[in-house]
Amino acid sequence: MRATPTAAPVIVVLDGYTNNPGDLSWQRFAALGELTVHDHSEPAAVVPRCTGATVICTNKTPLTAAHMAALPALRFIGVLATGVNVVDLAAARARGIVVTNVPAYGTDSVAQHTIGLMLCCASRIVELERSVRAGEWQRRQVFSYWDEPPMELAGKVLGLIGLGAIGRRVAAIARALGMEVIAYTPSGRTAAGVEAVDLDALRQRSDVISLHCPLTGDNAGMIDRHFLQQLKPGAIVINTARGGLLNEADVATALAQGRLGGLGADVLSSEPPAADNPLLQAPRCVITPHSAWASREARGRLLDIAADNIAAFLRGEPINTVA
């Protein structure tokens, strides 16, 4: 906590630990007002912790209409992420509360992680490394072994669903690996070197599919049994977007049956996942804990942009507004 003169705005960060577990600084926020940073906040703690606050920053702690009604001093909500589903935007608009987000801070980090998952699945890196540590190499007594051969990505087709900043960066890296890149996006967005196709063509042609689209009511669970049945045998799916895009039970079944060649996922439908999430026991599956965005470089950019958002609001010139 860092105090400034009482006329300065009161700034409360509800859940700062994930963004900054101690390797970065809150100094730019502290320079803007009377700052309090909480590592985590349960929903019931929001009002007691934010009474009198004019600025609240949140990553994953929900801010509901009831919270806003109980905090009459609140004028600004800064979401420390790109997605803003944790904030009741209609309630914020009704009360004249400015809401901002942090766009495009992690493009390179998420693209890098996406390619890393693709390489792990194509080259069977995780399974082979685990088998070596379990003593399998010694038991087989051969210089080289594999149970399922790795996939060479050069010459293969990468199908992107969504072609925003991350999708375009993934496309550029994939082309450097010698892959052909096609993309389906409802917006019709295009990119150099990427062939625009419809969803049916993408399913039929892709050796690897990578998801880079927001989760909506229309696409929730889109990677389901019907979708998977139309893929090439042994195709790989990568998801660094939103866990709800997958019907996880259908995907786990396709992995177990060998129809799906691999899944690389950095997101799941609930986080942390329930113990009975079927993907946790599925073969050919590499799961990371929603960490694609979390490089120190990306988090540093996130905090800088979030501080810029607050400063611009205090000047009366808000930027990166979503409400």
Give the residue numbers annotated as catalytic, written as ranges. 242, 271, 290
Q: Which H or E element spans position 184?
A: strand 180-184
Judged by phi (left if over 0) then psi (alpha if -120 to 50, else beta), residue 221 lies in left
Nearest CA to 206 out of 166, 164, 174 is that of 174
SS3 99: strand
Based on its alpha-carbon atoms, the radius of gyration of the chain, rounded to whole angstroms, reads: 22
Residue type, 284: R
Backbone angles phi, psi at 96, to 5 degrees: 70, 25
| Biggest distance spanned by C-alpha atoms of the chain | 74
Annotate 210-229 with three-state secondary structure.
EECCCCCCCCCCCECHHHHH
What does the alpha-carbon distance between residue 286 and residue 159 come to, in Å, rounded to a whole number?
A: 19
Helix 107-123 / helix 125-133 crossing angle, nearest 10 deg: 60
SS3 29: helix
Burial (CB count <10 Å: 0-12, 13-18, 19+), residue 32? middle
